[in-house]
Structure 1
Amino acid sequence: MRALLAGGGTAGHTSPLLATAAVLRDEGVEVTCLGTPRGLEVTLIPEAGYPLELVPPVPLPRRPGRAMAAVPARLRAAVKATREVVERIDPDVIVGFGGYVSVPAYLVARRTGIPLVVHEGNAVPGIANKLGARFTQHVATSFPGTDLRHGEYVGLPIRRQISGLDRAAARAEGRAHFGLAADAPTLLVTGGSQGARRINHAVAAAAPDLADAGVQVLHAAGRPEEVDVSTRPGGPAYVVASYIDRIDLAYAAADLVVCRAGANTVTEVAAVGLPAAFVPLPIGNGEQAHNAHPVVQAGGALLIDDEAFTASWVDQVVVPLVCDPHRLATMSAAASDLVPRDADEQLARMILDAADRR
């Protein structure tokens, strides 16, 4: 069996694609991925050992204008390139995870009659997947209540190193890996693969307050130059990295995480029971705040608007929380049972079932 998986641009599309691809590969499926030259998939997919086919990107503007007028020509070129890939690979099923590259894949699937599966990563569906859901009954969502035609809630596929993580058992290894003290309250800070200026500046400015409370920090800054922190001799560590490859060990090391609320991040921290302070990205259609709501409503996380996330808020809210083991344990328990850890297997089963109907 052969499957063509389309998705890329950001980790939000690429990570669930790779998690699902791993299950399909274990089932003996020959997986090929479809992406564009602009996204993270150019690096991440080949590193994971999957062949990657590239087609021209087709950005979908949210407002009328010159960019909107260019869409038809760009889309025709992308559909033509995708059709050539499909004719060469002859997949039994096409799977789309949203983003620019999914639109031509959906159109080619419709025109060729190849079974199509759509996976929506966010609580609020994007334009591409709203289109794809019109062409198939095989539609999976990451969050309950997502308003998408034919949507079936299966959860968001996450990497096995995350879904199988025992934070308590791996805590000592995680802290040793990053050079952190074994017994100090530990805050993980991340703004995603590209970093987040607001989060970087606010937490860095609050570094003296964190140090006064004995809190050590592991900060994945994306842009380390935005985090100017001087540690005190003998004081708690403040470790700054551009990017953390072993995010599983970072989750294990942390007592609390400050982060954006992308679907992948929300699902991962909830799955491993890591209490969170979510700072949703203040652009787009508000999907990040919607992603965070189930965890926040269950008591597993806090939600703070981007403009309200300041050094003062870190001092007044984050510092007392990361130093409160009882409250953290309560939040961890509230989050850990919210999201399915086997979404990769559930989505793979949907894909295999769709292919069998060809």
Structure 2
Amino acid sequence: MTKKTICFTGGGSAGHVTPNIAIINELDHQEWNIKYIGSKKGIEKELITKINIPYHEISSGKLRRYVDFENVKDIFRVLRGCLEARKILKKMRPNLVFSKGGFVSVPVIVAARSLGIPIFIHESDMTPGLANKISQRFATKIFTSFEETEKFFPKNQTRAIGSPIRKEILNGSPEQGRRFLGFHHKLPVLTIMGGSLGAKKINEAVRESIHDLTSKYQIVHLCGKGNVDQSLIGLPGYKQFEYIHEELPDILAVTDTVLTRGGSNAIFEFLALKIPMLIIPLSKAQSRGDQILNAKSFEEKGYSLTLEEESLTKESLKQTLEKLEKNRAQFKETMAKSVQGQAIKLILEEIAKIK
């Protein structure tokens, strides 16, 4: 049987790459040649080369929503990226390009359209990122994580399916997680995730409350690079890590409650795992506000509670966690009724139709 070729693209943050990896891991490698086009210095290069997928570099600019002289330079970088992507795709001759967004994806999609290659895109957040706003006019099919997002795209091309979730996240071992952490069974486990770089205000609020929190929970604190508090090393019931990779599924398997940012990929994973969430989204001062909308949607559906970063204090953290614990059974019951978790299956079905 002649193999077909699929080319993935997307980058700029882990959130634009890990869903692609989740799909790549489920594709039949006997049926598909799998390639990746990304930027020269983005996080996607590190993540994709680690799983031994052929990686092709192109020039890419940053899609800014504000006036900056760098925008002029980036016009030329994007144009160069389009030419480089077209040359790569012409040689690669893929049957399909699949994009998760991010600024590097735009030149790839423009080039693919010029060559008549089918294009699938997936939008994780409630409102489209700038890359996918541009890319939608070239796409063959568009997938979204949220039903609310469908209205931003052409109706006949768009389908809400949830977020592609890494299978390994769902297969952790609570016994191995407890052993790795050195935790017992007497107190529940609270896992705190502030994003890949950590979250200064979340770290501060947690550590100000640490003695109160450790009287009620055993805590796993993923605090970001360079953010380990040396004075708290060895505190019973409190484990700090800059970041976690291989052990994360086991840690989540033993987690009873999670405190998280509002990134779409992460909260859909916690939903699939049925872990009640306290979401502290990035503020509008730090982002375009997509995490606030993500958190609002999940709270309205009964999956989580939201605490705005501007309102985050030692006392508000304590009160919101108490409210979450008081209604734990209701949150878990509502999450159990969710039909999320089928995104990869549905995407693979659509990919299989490509000739």
TM-score calculated relative to the size of structure 1: 0.90
CA apart distance, 1:306: 1.1
For residues 43-100 of structure 1, what are the alpha-carbon distances to aligned partners after superposition, in whole Å with 9 as ceiling and x for unaligned? Answer: 2112222111111222011023312222321111111111121122111111111001
- Confirm or deny that 1:257 pairs with 2:258: yes
Question: Counterparts of 1:105-254 in structure 2 under 5 Å?
Answer: 105-146=108-149, 147-149=152-154, 150-163=157-170, 170-211=173-214, 213-225=215-227, 227=229, 229-230=231-232, 236-245=236-245, 246-254=247-255
Q: Distance in 2 between matches of 1:9 and 1:71?
A: 15
CA apart distance, 1:223: 2.9
- Aligned letter for 1:264? N
Larger displacement relative to structure 2 (63-72 or 304-313): 63-72
Q: Distance in 2 between matches of 1:27 and 1:330?
A: 44
Structure 2 equivalent of residue 343 of structure 1: 343
Q: Distance in 1 between matches of 2:119 and 2:9?
A: 11
CA contact (8 A) 2:278 2:306 kept: yes
For residues 115-155 of structure 1, what are the alpha-carbon distances to aligned partners after superposition, in whole Å with 9 as ceiling and x for unaligned? Answer: 11111111111111112211133111111120222321121
Task: Report the secondary structure of 1:244's partner residue.
Answer: coil
Structure 2 equivalent of residue 274 of structure 1: 275
CA apart distance, 1:315: 2.5
Question: Counterparts of 1:43-122 in structure 2 under 5 Å?
Answer: 43-122=46-125
Question: Identity of counterpart residues, as a percentage?
Answer: 28
Q: Distance in 2 between matches of 1:148 and 1:163?
A: 30
- Aligned letter for 1:156? S
Closer/same/farther in 2, CA of residues 132 and 339 from structure 1, 3 Å limit: farther
Q: Distance in 1 between matches of 2:52 and 2:28?
A: 11
Q: Distance in 1 between matches of 2:11 and 2:315?
A: 37
For residues 161-204 of structure 1, what are the alpha-carbon distances to aligned partners after superposition, in whole Å with 9 as ceiling and x for unaligned? Answer: 22456xxxx43332222221223121100112221111111111
Q: Distance in 2 between matches of 1:163 and 1:272?
A: 7
Q: Which runs of 5+ in 2 are unaligned?
A: none
Alignment: residue pair count? 345
Structure 1 equivalent of residue 299 of structure 2: 296
Closer/same/farther in 2, CA of residues 223 and 321 from structure 1, 3 Å limit: farther
Q: Distance in 2 between matches of 1:321 and 1:61?
A: 39
For residues 221-259 of structure 1, what are the alpha-carbon distances to aligned partners after superposition, in whole Å with 9 as ceiling and x for unaligned? Answer: 113535355378xx7411001111122112112111111
Q: Distance in 2 between matches of 1:291 and 1:317?
A: 18
CA apart distance, 1:262: 0.4
CA contact (8 A) 2:103 2:131 kept: yes
CA apart distance, 1:27: 6.4
Question: Counterparts of 1:24-39 in structure 2 under 5 Å?
Answer: 24-26=27-29, 28-39=31-42
Structure 2 equivalent of residue 352 of structure 1: 352
Q: Distance in 2 between matches of 1:321 and 1:47?
A: 41
Larger displacement relative to structure 2 (221-230 or 188-197): 221-230
CA apart distance, 1:329: 2.7
Structure with greater contact order relative to length (CA < 8 Å, sep ≥ 6)? 1
Q: Which runs of 5+ in 1 are unaligned?
A: none
- Aligned letter for 1:263? S
Q: Distance in 1 between matches of 2:237 and 2:226?
A: 16
CA contact (8 A) 1:194 1:223 kept: yes
Closer/same/farther in 2, CA of residues 345 and 26 from structure 1, 3 Å limit: farther
- Confirm or deny that 1:6 pairs with 2:9: yes
CA contact (8 A) 1:180 1:237 kept: yes
Q: Distance in 1 between matches of 2:302 and 2:68?
A: 43
How large is the Cα RMSD of the aligned pairs?
2.0
Q: Distance in 2 between matches of 1:98 and 1:126?
A: 8
- Aligned letter for 2:282? L
CA contact (8 A) 1:186 1:216 kept: yes
> Which of structure 1's runs of 4+ aligned residues deviate more than 6 A?
none
